[in-house]
Amino acid sequence: MREEQPRARTQPGAVALTFDDGPDPVWTPHVLEQLGELPATFFVDTSRVRDHPGLVQAAAELGHEVGFHCDRHRRHTDLTPAEIARDVEDGLSTLGELGLRPRVWRAPWGIVTAETRRTASRHDLELWNWSTDTHDWRGDSAKEMLAAVGPDMDQGGSVVLMHDAMGPGARRSDCAETGRLVAALAKRGQRAGMRFVRLSDVRTP
């Protein structure tokens, strides 16, 4: 029997802007500013949330979705079932102390195992990957990234992957080009009549 994969697309005519690895004290506010009134989903690293809780609360107050990414940014294929379960429990506890209850989860690098799925089910978390990878961690310019991902976004239903912090393996020195890309994607999507959504807006009942 084929294992069900995490969702990677939204609905026709809709696009979800998503960010992994934050919060970051410099770049998360920058991304929030570029988003303006457009909603987005932030998959947070709760080890960073403990250092910058106010940033996550600010994002939530602005109407963005706070999803869970990890407490330790490690591939689930390198963790035992108990370690995966503990990571999620620690992360949800951190967010719960801020009054936040995530509904969506993106595992580090989008890698899921059978235990990832079982843990998601226990905590009523819907797993999400992405359809459109900006590869912003490489340090490409916003213009280059827009040219690469724009056509897929134009088709609708896209889940766009970006990062509002410097995560493991990043080859860039900052997230400035991601901020520029956000502004460009917003303009492109609005011109095309796209509806911007949070992932929980299209969550499976």
| Catalytic (active site) residue 51 | no
Of the residues 20, 71, 87, 164, only one is catalytic, namely 20
Of the residues 21, 87, 163, 164, only one is catalytic, namely 163
Whether residue 1 is contained in a domain is answered as no
Q: Which residue has the higher pLDDT, 3 or 42?
A: 42
For residue 167, report the phi and psi dihedrals to the nearest 5 degrees: -90, 180
Average pLDDT over residues 168-188: 94
Domain boundaries, position 136 = 14-202
pLDDT exceeds cutoff 70 at 116: yes
| Catalytic (active site) residue 163 | yes
**Residue 24 pLDDT:** 97
> DSSP readout, 77-114?
GGS-HHHHHHHHHHHHHHHHTTT----EE--GGG---H
Distance of alpha carbon 183 from alpha carbon 59, whole angstroms: 17
| pTM across the whole model | 0.95
- The predicted-structure confidence for 128-157, as pLDDT tens digits, reads as follows 999 999 999 999 999 999 999 988 888 889
Q: Mean pLDDT score of the chain, rounded to an integer?
A: 94
Strand partners, 161: 18, 133
**Residue 71 pLDDT:** 98
Question: Which residue is it, tokens 């917003």?
Answer: 186
Question: How far does Cα 13 stand from its chain's mean position?
Answer: 20
DSSP letter, residue 74 = -
Whether residue 155 is contained in a domain is answered as yes
Average pLDDT over residues 175-201: 94
Whether residue 5 is contained in a domain is answered as no
**Which burial class, exposed, middle or buried, applies to 117 when counting CB atoms under 10 A from its CB (0-12, 13-18, 19+)?**
middle
**Residue 150 pLDDT:** 87
Between 176-191 and 27-35, two packed helices, what is the crossing angle to 10 degrees?
A: 10
Whether residue 4 is contained in a domain is answered as no
Number of domains in the chain: 1
Whether residue 26 is contained in a domain is answered as yes
Whether residue 23 is contained in a domain is answered as yes
With pLDDT > 70 as the criterion, what percentage of the chain qualifies?
97
Q: Residue 116 is part of a domain; what is its CATH number? A: 3.20.20.370
